[in-house]
Structure 1
Amino acid sequence: MKNNKPKYNSIIDAAVQVIAENGYHASQVSKIAKKAGVADGTIYLYFKNKEDILISLFQQKMGQFTEKIEHEIASKQNAKDKLLSMISMHFKQLAADHQLAIVTQLELRQSNKDLRLKINDVLKGYLAIIDDIVEEGQQDGTFRSDLDLRLVRQMIFGTLDETVTNWVMKEQKYDLMKQSKEVHELLVFGLSGNTHP
């Protein structure tokens, strides 16, 4: 498989840096190649074009992101704790890599419809984790059973996504991790209807 080749990861990591620093549209393949320490032509052994680099970058990073969250929530006993763990891990991973946060929050928001569809496709695994947590909470009575799962999924993901985007736009001037508990309380309140999350 092409992504097992050693240069693949260096190109992906270089792409994160170059796109974060220059923006997607101003990030020529040659800049990515230079940052990765490979010849321009080498890029095309692994990727069809710049769009393919962006999608592959997102697939790889989102795959790792989702795996870490799944691993972290596996040890939690109930939906409420799993939700807090998911929120904390979401914020922690992006706070730890501000260049990746710039790429995911700003540069992946492209107007190209095909690109948007591919990005949404990559998100499916992550959104499935949200669904599982909500369904577990509904089954054990933690969350209301009359909730529309699709709407709840959008609300949870949208809240986390917007919180990180705001942090990126404010140039990471505050501690993103400190937002975890409050975001969790707001979401649990909305999902349970109880005043004490």
Structure 2
Amino acid sequence: MKRNKPKYKQIIDAAVIVIAENGYHQAQVSKIAKQAGVADGTIYLYFKNKEDILISMFREKMGLFIEKTEEVIAGKSSSSEKLLVMIENHFSILCDDHHLATVTQLELRQSNKEIRLKINDVLKKYLKLVDMILYEGIDRGEFDPSLDVRLTRQMIFGTIDEIVTTWVMNDHKYELAALAKPIHQIILRGCQAHQ
């Protein structure tokens, strides 16, 4: 599998930096190759074109996001706790990688419909984790049984996403991770089963 080839990860990581610093449209394949320390032609052994690099990069990074999220929620017993660590994890991954935050929040929002559809496809796996937490919370009586899971998931992801975008637009001037608990509290109020 190509993702296990050593240069694949090198190119993906270089693409994150180049796209974050130059914007997707100005990020020529030659710049990515230079950043990765490989010949231009080497890129085409792994990727069809720049669009393929962008989608592969998102798939790769989202895969790590999902793995890390599954890891952190595995040790938690309540759905409420799982939701909190999921939000914390989302923020901490992007706090640790400002280039990746810029790419996910700004550069992935392409007007190209084909790119959008492929990105949404990758995102589905992450959103399924949110659904899982919500269904589990309903089953355990933690969350309101009349909760519209699809709508709630969109609100949770939309909130997290918008908070990160605002943080990126403000040049990471404040501590993103510090917002996890208050956001969690607000979401929880809307989800909890009413006694």
Q: Same fold (TM over 0.5)?
A: yes
Structure 2 gaps, min length 5: none
1:79-119, Cα deviation, whole Å (9 max, x unpaired): 00000010100001100100000000000000111100000
1:133-148 aligned within 5 A: 133-148=133-148
Secondary structure at the counterpart of residue 152 of structure 1? helix
Which AA in structure 2 matches 1:175? Answer: E
Q: What is the alpha-carbon root mean square deviation over aligned residues?
A: 1.1
Shift of 1:159: 0.5
**Partner AA of 1:97 in structure 2:** D
Corresponding residue SS for 2:48: coil
Alignment of 1:89-104 (within 5 A): 89-104=89-104
Distance 1:77 1:35 in 2: 43
Name the residue aligned to 1:79.
79
Bigger shift: residues 140-149 or 108-117 = 140-149
Distance 1:121 1:45 in 2: 24
Q: Which amino acid aligns with 1:104?
A: T
How far the C-alpha of 1:194 sits from its partner, in A, is 5.6
Corresponding residue for residue 123 of structure 1: 123
Q: Deviations over 1:134-154 (max 9, x none)?
A: 001111111111111110110
Give the counterpart letter for 1:129 in structure 2: L
Deviation of the 1:124 alpha carbon: 1.2
Query: Structure 1 residue 35: deviation in Å?
Result: 0.5
Paired with 1:171 and 1:194, the residues of 2 have a C-alpha distance of 39
TM-score of the superposed pair, with normalisation by structure 1: 0.97
- Please state how far the C-alpha of 1:188 moved relative to its aligned partner: 0.2
How far apart are the structure 2 equivalents of 1:4 and 1:177?
32
Distance 1:194 1:97, change over 3 A: farther
Q: What is the aligned-residue identity percentage?
A: 64
Give 1:193 shift.
6.2
Give the direction of change, closer, same or farther, for the CA distance of 1:189–1:167 in structure 2 (3 Å limit).
Answer: same
Alignment of 1:24-63 (within 5 A): 24-63=24-63
Count, aligned residues: 195
Q: In the TM superposition, what is the alpha-carbon distance from 1:4 to its structure 2 partner?
A: 1.4
TM-score w.r.t. the length of structure 2 is 0.98
Q: Give the drift of 1:5.
A: 1.1
> Residue 15 of structure 2 contacts residue 32 of structure 2 at CA under 8 Å; is this kept in 1?
yes
Code of the residue aligned with 1:83 in structure 2: it is L
List structure 1 segments (4+ residues) > 3 angstroms apart after TM superposition.
none
8 Å contact kept, 2:142–2:193: no
Q: State how far apart, in whole Å, the 2-side matches of 1:145 and 1:166 are.
A: 32
Deviation string, structure 1 residues 153-178 (Cα, Å, up to 9, x no partner) = 10010010001000000000000000
Cα distance in 1 for residues equivalent to 2:6 and 2:165: 32
Q: Structure 1: give runs of 5+ residues left out of the alignment.
A: none
Given that 2:80 and 2:137 are in contact with CA atoms closer than 8 Å, whether structure 1 keeps it comes out as yes
Which residues of 2 match residues 141-180 of structure 1 at below 5 A?
A: 141-180=141-180
Partner residue, 2:14: 14
* TM superposition shift of 1:192: 1.5
AA at the equivalent of 1:169: M
- Tell me the secondary structure at the aligned position of residue 172 of structure 2: coil
